[in-house]
Structure 1
Amino acid sequence: MTEAIRFASSNMFAPPVSRRTKNANTDSKGRSARLWNFPYFGDIPAGQPAWVSPEPEAYSEVEAIILNDAQYNFYSLRNELIINLPIGKMHFLLRAKGDSMNTSSPIPIKDGDLVLLRQQDAAESGEIVAVEIVGVDEVATLKRYRYKDRKHWLEPESDNPDLPPHFSITKDFYIRGVALAVLKPV
Structure 2
Amino acid sequence: MRRREMSDRQAEIYQYIVDFIRERGISPSIRDIQHDLHISSTSVVSYNLNVLERLGKIIRNDKISRGISLPGLTPARLDQAIGRVPLLGTITAGSPLPDPEEIDLNSAEQIVIPADVIPPNRLNGVYAMKVRGQSMIDALIDDGDIVLLRWQETAENGQMVAARLIDENAVTLKKFYREDDRIRLQPANATMPPIYTAPDNVQIQGRVIGVLRSLL
Q: What range is the shorter-chain TM-score in?
A: 0.5 to 0.7
Give me the whole-angstrom Cα distance separating, in 2, the residues matched to 1:6 and 1:176. Answer: 9
> What's 1:128 paired with?
160
Inter-partner Cα distance in structure 1 for 2:130 and 2:181: 31
**Contact preservation (8 Å) 1:96, 1:113:** yes
CA distance in 1, matches of 2:102, 2:95: 11
Q: Secondary structure at the match of 1:154?
A: strand
- Structure 1-normalised TM-score? 0.55
Instruction: Find the counterpart in structure 2 of residue 118 from structure 1.
Output: 150
Match of 2:182 in 1: 151
* Superposed CA offset, 1:80-122 (max 9, x none): xxxxx26xx3110001101110001xxx110000000001100
Tell me how far 1:17 sits from its aligned partner: 5.5
- Aligned sequence identity (%): 24
Question: For 2:169, which of 138, 158, 176 is the aligned residue?
Answer: 138
SS at match of 2:112: coil
CA separation of 1:95 and 1:17: change in aligned 2, threshold 3 A: closer
CA distance in 2, matches of 1:102, 1:15: 23
Structure (1 or 2) with the larger CA radius of gyration: 2
1:184 pairs with 2:184: no
Q: Are 2:96 and 2:169, in contact at CA under 8 Å, matched by a contact in 1?
A: no
One-letter identity of the residue aligned with 2:172: T
How many residue pairs match? The answer is: 118
One-letter code of the match for 1:152? I
Q: Pick from 82, 86, 96: which aligns with 2:131?
A: 96
Deviations 1:30-71 (A, max 9, x none): xxx631233xxxxxxxxxxxxxxxxxxxxxxxxxxxxxxxxx
**CA RMSD across the alignment:** 2.6
Larger helix share, 1 or 2: 2
- 1:116 match: secondary structure: strand
The amino acid of 1:6's aligned partner reads P
* 1:113-149 C-alpha deviation (Å, 9 max, x unpaired): 00000011001111000011111x4111000001123
TM-score (norm 2): 0.48
What is aligned with 2:196?
Answer: 168
Q: Given the superposition, is the C-alpha separation of residues 144 and 114 from structure 1 closer, same or farther in structure 2, using an over 3 Å criterion? A: same
Query: Unpaired segments of 5 or more residues in structure 2?
Result: 1-92
CA distance in 2, matches of 1:140, 1:9: 19
- Contact 2:95-2:171 at 8 Å conserved across structures: no
Q: Residue 18 and residue 178 in structure 1: after superposition, are their counterparts in 2 closer, same or farther (change >3 A)?
A: closer
Relative contact order, higher structure (CA 8 A, sep 6+) = 1
Gap regions ≥5 residues in structure 1: 20-32, 39-84
Aligned to 2:103: 11
